[in-house]
Structure 1
Amino acid sequence: MDEPLATSAFIAVLGGTSVLAFAARWFHRRDVLPHLAGWALADRGFGTGVTWFLLGGSIFTAYTFAAVPGLAYGTGALGFFPLAYTVVLCPVLFVLLPRLWAAARSTGAVTVADWVRARYDSPALMLVVALTGVLATMPYIALQLLGVRAVLDAGGLYPQGPAGDLALTAVFAVLAGATFRSGLRAPAVISIVKGVLVFGAAFGVVGVAIGRLGGFAAVFDGAERELGAGGGLLLDPALHPAFATLALGSALALPMYPHVLTAAFAAAGPGTLRRSAVAMPAWTFVLGLFGLLGIAALAAGVAAPLGNAEVAVPLLIRDLLPELASGAVFGALAVGALVPAAVMSVAVAALFTRNVYVEFFHPDATPKHEVRVARWVSLLAKVAALAFVFGLREQDAINLQLLGGIWILQTFPAVALGLFSTWWHRSALLAGWAAGMVTGTVLAVAGGYTSVVAVGPVLLYVAVVALAVNLAVAAALTPGFARGGAARTGVPG
């Protein structure tokens, strides 16, 4: 770390956030016995403002803010597909989350797998939803750390060798301690800080970049020249199906992630979630500003290392801003990783505790015992994420995250369709899940961990193809299972 002012600003931002995280429990002290809904969902009491910050902070991760400008820098127009899917995501959240909240509250569900168990009276379907959520989330936690490490390394704030790894571990240890004590309330407090920092950083850096580079027209002209034959700021028509299915599949998959549903279940009510969803496009706008910074990095002639396009914007920030300001921006990006990582660890802990440990190993567990187990599982989840970072190649974590997105979408029929219809049979949904999981995994791995696959003359998102197989199998088998005498259970949420 050879830039003392930048380092000081970075430490100040991260230190202040850590103090607030540990103080989270003091904002809501009550003399009640511990219970999982209190630790994992903050007693379902968050209002519209906190819910908006927490949902946005969980969905728009630090890795997203690094990857989107990296994609724009490396591929041009195709890199902006996350903007399309987050626009589609907002109405999906508006429709699904309030209904899921009401269904979960009416059944006493703490996790989405609890709701599936109550809806279909199927321990098997509950288990696959829970385990799919855990498997899809673990590499997602690791990616937050990888994104922060790449950003800080590019900014000259990450010491080489064991010293840097120790620093990253120390930052994560503070998060682990705060979450262990306060559960979801710790990331809820940090999410407010994240929102303020990320919004301020986006507007500030874009303003400086556009001003220094001569305006928007000069930025886009320069980027077009840099991309040349290798890409373009206009999307190739042949990629339209891939772009559309990536956007649609991602918009349907994201609300199925445990950390998003955990943040949603912590809201005070359906109205709170609707108001938060209506205001969610503000986060998309900020993500677009970060994507614009990828284009600005092209126009500025930033030379990112081959295969590491995500560091282009951190390099641009280091070149454009004074030391103090750049350190504060890098601190904001680091804080951006803490919120989703903490919520993910809480979600994984709740799923494992409620839907694996209690359901199959300790059905007589007291509420206090549930909380104790969940706390330790959340801690182990963070340790496992660090093991991902230090023990595997970065590409391995990215590949696992790609598979995670494919897998989590296969829970959509069991979770979402059951809210609106009693037609689907639990055994058919289980068979459809299995078919979708196998199809998606085989297609992705056979293609070299690619996100798109050729179906005839068009390229489509692998997860959407797998979901189509999932739904087809479930729809084909439902009438047969129903005729076999096994009743459909439950009612729409």
Structure 2
Amino acid sequence: MTDLALQPVALAVFLVLFVIVTVLGFMGARWRRGDLDTLHEWGLGGRRFGTLISWFLLGGDLYTAYTFVAVPALIYSVGAIGFFAVPYTILIYPILYSVFPRLWRICARHGYLTAPEFVRGRFDSRALSLAVAVTGILATMPYIALQLVGMQVVIAALGLQGSGLWADLPLFVAFVVLAAFTYTSGLRAPAIIAVVKDLLIYATVIAAAVIIPMHLGGWGKIFAAVPAAKLTLPVPGPNTLGSYGAYATLALGSALALFLYPHSMTGILAASSGRVIRRNAALLPAYSFILGLLALLGFMAIGYGVGHAPEYAAGFHRYGPNFAVPALILAAFPPWFAGVAFAAIAIGALVPASIMSIATANIFTRDIYKVFLKPGATDVQESRMAKLVSLVVKLGALVFILVLPTTAAIQFQLLGGIWIIQTLPAVMLGLLRWRLRPGALLLGWACGMAVGTAMAASTHFKSATFALHLPGAFIAPGYAALYALIVNLIVALVLSAIMNAMRSAEATARDPAERFGF
């Protein structure tokens, strides 16, 4: 099988845009100057990002390179169920509006930089805080690795292939660039780069939504080329919710989980006020519109027949359906615009990967290093440790991709979604006046982690859905993360109620919630 052809014009445009972004990343250290020897400035940008910058930052944070590659690839390969990503990104914004301004105010008042730090202050429990911290780090690591998968696909589409070290050299270069500007500029770098990335993404997706249907003779012909089985969800049979249940629970569970990820939380806490968060909850659905157009690229790829074109066979052989979007771009656009589109995807990997590495570094430094390893750490020691950890995290993600097969990263990302949602009771319910007990929350977290992992293992880590068998021989396929969260909530709430009933009035008066201002 021959390698993909080198795309010199696309490569030149790609490199020019990549160099511009690299320069902007290093310039971030001088933008809105602050003392980058403090974790507050390096890891959260001093909480000074207004509505516009927060909009770009959160958009760049949530809509990653793997989203641009994987969502159309899922629709290309399995069809309509892949559209669950569109309603899920609509459901998240009412949650953002109603929950997270309060979290921002509490964290700003107490100087908290991470969700585990909030949990530790709210429940006065280092064990529960450690559980939330470790969960966040474990869930984020494969997420960073998958950004590099997106870059691998783009690099292959440009024709930069080979064997041995040469094959991975472009990825090493991207890693060095990412590590360098993150280390020097902190969160300011992805914040400023996100503006360029999002403008490129908007231009690419809108152009594709207009030009490709014109090439193919209109949307009617595109949908006519899609097999009927992929156009709609199959109607459930008797005694089962079928794919309807899977679709609905994937959307709801993903919406509940998304803002619990450390990188999402970092983008929120970097805002300058709770009002900025509310404004962004109203403005960010614009990205959902773009995501809907992006998802349709999967059907466009079917219409173009890129999966059967011999010139793209090497890409599909190596990357499977993930190569559908790059192949479509190469087939539908002139080389210079393909370079713009590929740069948008690559930069769409750099922005979230840098935020993810900063977020995990913040968590390790504030919630593990300072709490358990060096309680008396100074601001300078904190920032140095965070910078070092951010490098280690990125290096770990790079090794993950180079050593393990891509399917391993996808499987761990599946677990990441199941795991991170188990922190919801401690973080989101911790914002309420409910008298939840840290021991009950910790046990609920452990039960949710065990049940969710077991459900994923029962599918051999190939599916996010689990067929739940209910009384009356009724089968309810659904998102394993949501089912595990239900177990988590039942254990935490019931056990908290029992423990509260057994507490004395004096113990209730000493409740950490009272000291915390609840």
> TM-score interval w.r.t. the shorter chain?
over 0.9
**Structure 2 segments unaligned to the other structure (5+ residues):** 236-241, 309-315, 470-474
- 2:119 pairs with 1:116: yes
Counterpart for residue 82 of structure 2: 79
> What residue number does 1:296 align with?
300
* Corresponding residue number in structure 2 for 1:466: 484
Contact 2:201 2:344 in 1 (8 A): yes
Q: Which residue of 1 aligns with 2:266?
A: 262
SS at match of 2:231: coil
Amino acid at match of 1:201: T
Residues 159, 203 of structure 1: CA spacing in aligned structure 2 closer, same or farther, 3 A cutoff? farther
CA RMSD of aligned residues (A): 1.5
Letter in 2 for 1:455: L
Instruction: Report the counterpart of residue 192 of structure 1 in structure 2.
Output: 195
The 8 Å contact of residues 90 and 280 in structure 1, kept in 2 or not, is answered as yes
Q: Distance in 2 between matches of 1:423 and 1:205?
A: 52
Matched ranges for 1:329-344 at <5 A: 329-344=341-356
What is the match of residue 29 of structure 2?
A: 25
Q: Determine which of 415, 431, 435 is the counterpart of 2:427.
A: 415
Q: Please name the residue that 1:489 is paired with.
A: 512
Mapped contact 1:132–1:407 kept (Cα < 8 A): yes
DSSP-derived class of the 1:308 partner:
helix
Name the residue aligned to 2:93: 90
Could you tell me which residue of structure 1 aligns to residue 465 of structure 2?
A: 452
Q: Give the match for residue 231 of structure 2.
A: 233
Q: CA deviation at 1:134?
A: 0.3
Map Cα deviations across residues 341-398 of structure 1 (whole Å, 9 max, x no partner). 0000000000000100110010000011100000000010000010011010100000
2:312 is matched with which residue?
none
Change beyond 3 A, Cα 1:33–1:262? closer
Structure 1 position 446, deviation (Å): 1.8
Aligned partner of residue 196 in structure 1, secondary structure: helix
- In the TM superposition, residue 94 of structure 1 has moved relative to its aligned partner by 1.3
The answer to whether residue 152 in structure 2 is matched with residue 149 in structure 1 is yes
Cα distance, 1:299 vs structure 2: 1.0
Cα pair 2:155 2:170 within 8 Å, conserved: no
Report the residue type matching 1:132 in the other structure. T
Question: What letter corresponds to residue 392 of structure 1 in structure 2?
Answer: L
For 2:239, the equivalent position in structure 1 comes to none
Amino acid at match of 1:387: V
Question: CA–CA distance in 1 between the matches of 2:230 and 2:149?
Answer: 28
Which of the numbers 14, 26, 29 marks the counterpart of 1:10?
Answer: 14
Letter in 2 for 1:474: A
In structure 2, the partner of 1:175 is 178
The yes-or-no answer on 1:404 pairing with 2:408 is: no
- Identify which range, 404-413 or 163-172, moves more after superposition: 163-172
Q: When the two structures are aligned, how many residues end up with a matched partner?
A: 487
Task: Give, in whole Å, the separation in 1 of the partners of 2:17 and 2:72.
Answer: 23
Separation in 1, partners of 2:244, 2:152: 33
| Structure 2 residue identity aligned to 1:22 | F
Which deviations, in whole Å up to 9, do the C-alpha atoms of 1:397-448 show, x marking residues without a partner? Answer: 0000000000000000000001123321111111100000000001101221
Equivalents in 2 of 1:78, 1:328: separation in Å?
29
Is residue 2:33 matched to residue 1:36? no
Q: Which residue pairs with 1:477 in the alignment?
A: 495
- Cα pair 1:116 1:414 within 8 Å, conserved: yes
SS at 1:23 equivalent: helix
The secondary structure found in structure 2 opposite 1:256 is coil
The DSSP-based 3-state class of the residue aligned with 2:71 is helix
Q: Distance in 2 between matches of 1:182 and 1:107?
A: 25
Deviation of 1:492 (Å) = 7.1
The DSSP-based 3-state class of the residue aligned with 2:232 is coil
Partner residue in 2 for 1:216: 219
Q: Given the alignment, which residue of 360, 366, 386 partners 2:398?
A: 386
Query: What percentage of aligned pairs have identical amino acids?
Result: 44
Contact 1:53 1:188 in 2 (8 A): yes
Q: What SS does the corresponding residue of 1:303 show, helix, strand or coil?
A: helix
Deviations 1:20-64 (A, max 9, x none): 00111111224x472111110010000000000000110011001
Q: Which residue of 1 aligns with 2:313?
A: none
Partner of residue 381 from structure 2, selected from 358, 362, 369: 369
TM-score normalised by the chain length of structure 2: 0.92
Select the residue among 278, 281, 284 that pairs with 1:280: 284
Residue 155 of structure 1 and its aligned partner are, at CA, apart by 4.2
Q: Distance in 2 between matches of 1:492 and 1:448?
A: 46
3-state SS, counterpart of residue 478 of structure 2: strand
Return closer, same or farther for 1:27/1:162 CA change in 2, 3 Å cut-off: same
1:107 has 2:110 as partner: yes
> What is the rounded CA distance, in whole Å, between the counterparts of 1:48 and 1:219 in structure 2?
38
**What letter corresponds to residue 451 of structure 1 in structure 2?**
A
d(CA) in 1 for partners of 2:89, 2:58 = 13
CA distance in 1 between counterparts of 2:167 and 2:266 reads 32
Q: Secondary structure at the match of 2:272?
A: coil
Runs of 4+ with deviation above 6 angstroms: none
